[in-house]
Amino acid sequence: MESGSIHEAASYGDLDTLKKIVEERPWTVDQDDRHGWRPVFHAGLRRRLDVVQYLIDRGADLAAHDGYAIHYAAEVPDNKDIVSLLITYGGLDAHTKPSNEAARQFIYAVFLANVHRVETMLRTDSRLVHVRYARGDTALHHASRNGDLDIVRQLVVHEADVNDTADNGHFPLYCAAGHGHAETTRYLLENGAKRDTTMADGKTVADWLRQFSDHDLRMKACLEVLER
């Protein structure tokens, strides 16, 4: 991350510096860094609520790069205030592209980890558990990626496929472990997730995690679960 950049300011929650940059160069609100990340991606991932709100107010495009602003924000524990904010401004629709109103309401509840609403909607229409969103993800892919274990439990109880593969080759076990959610990883394994399933590059989830586990404690914890 370039020192003194808007991306650095967003990541560290330096709102004063970020405001100065935007006032001088308004277009930087939607500037990609060398990894293709926007300032709002960094702010959401680092739980900088005030920065996310400021960037939204200054016109940040929440649909950029398939709406990945909410993808990064949602995978972080205890970050539902930012998730809710991004949903309010349409970021989730850009990311999931719901096919109908029921699917939209359901995936909102999933991302907000509203267990009671998810359970009630599934009692009313159990087919919601099988609905596919953008890139072929189901609600279970998203809940696993977000580490929302209570939602994952509800989906599995209502017969979500724990080994379902999305269009990009991702499956719930990878979504959970690859984003550092050890308890969700354990639950999926206990409920039939196959630990030897491989991704497009031929790696298992454990193979993939070994690349990062030496310097990421959450990844290490997931790898330990997988290797037991």
Q: What is the pLDDT of residues 198-207, one digit of tens each?
A: 988 889 999 9
Query: Is residue 195's pLDDT more than 70?
Result: yes
Predicted confidence band at 139 (pLDDT cuts at 50, 70, 90)? very high
Question: How confident is the prediction for the chain on average, in pLDDT?
Answer: 95
| DSSP helix, strand, coil percent of the chain (3-state; round to 5) | 60, 0, 35
Quick: pLDDT tens for 74-117.
999 999 999 999 999 999 999 999 999 999 999 999 999 999 99
Q: Which of 165, 105, 161, 159 is nearest to 137 (CA)?
A: 165
Q: Which of 149, 143, 153 is nearest to 182 (CA)?
A: 149
Q: What is the pLDDT of residue 59?
A: 97
Whether residue 209 is predicted with pLDDT greater than 80 in this model: the reply is: yes
Q: Mean pLDDT throughout 109-128?
A: 97
Say if residue 3's pLDDT is above 80: no
**Residue at 220: amino acid letter:** K
Cα 198 to the chain's mean position, in Å? 21
Report the alpha-carbon distance of residue 17 to residue 6 in Å, rounded: 8
Helix (H, G, I), strand (E, B) or coil at 204: strand
| Res 200: pLDDT | 85
CA 177 to chain centre: 12
**Residue 217: pLDDT band with limits 50, 70, 90:** very high
Q: Please state the separation of Cα 220 from the chain's center in Å.
A: 19
Number of neighbours of residue 59 by Cβ within 10 angstroms: 11
Q: What are phi and psi of 160, to 5 degrees?
A: -65, 145
Q: What is the pLDDT of residue 1?
A: 64
The pTM (predicted TM-score) of the whole model is 0.94
- Under the banding of pLDDT at 50, 70 and 90, the label for residue 54 is very high
Structure tokens at 158: 């209502």
Poorest-pLDDT segment among 67-81, 121-135, 148-162, 209-223: 209-223
For residue 140, give the 3-state DSSP assignment: helix
Average pLDDT over residues 184-189: 98
**What are the residues whose beta carbons fall under 8 Å from the beta carbon of 163, sequence distance 6 or more?**
171, 172, 173, 192, 193, 194, 197
Predicted pLDDT at 26: 96
pLDDT at 215: 84
Distance CA 57, CA 103 (A): 28
For the chain, give the percent of residues with pLDDT over 90: 93
CB 205 within 8 Å of CB 178: yes
CA distances from 63 to 70, 96, 170 (A): 9, 10, 21
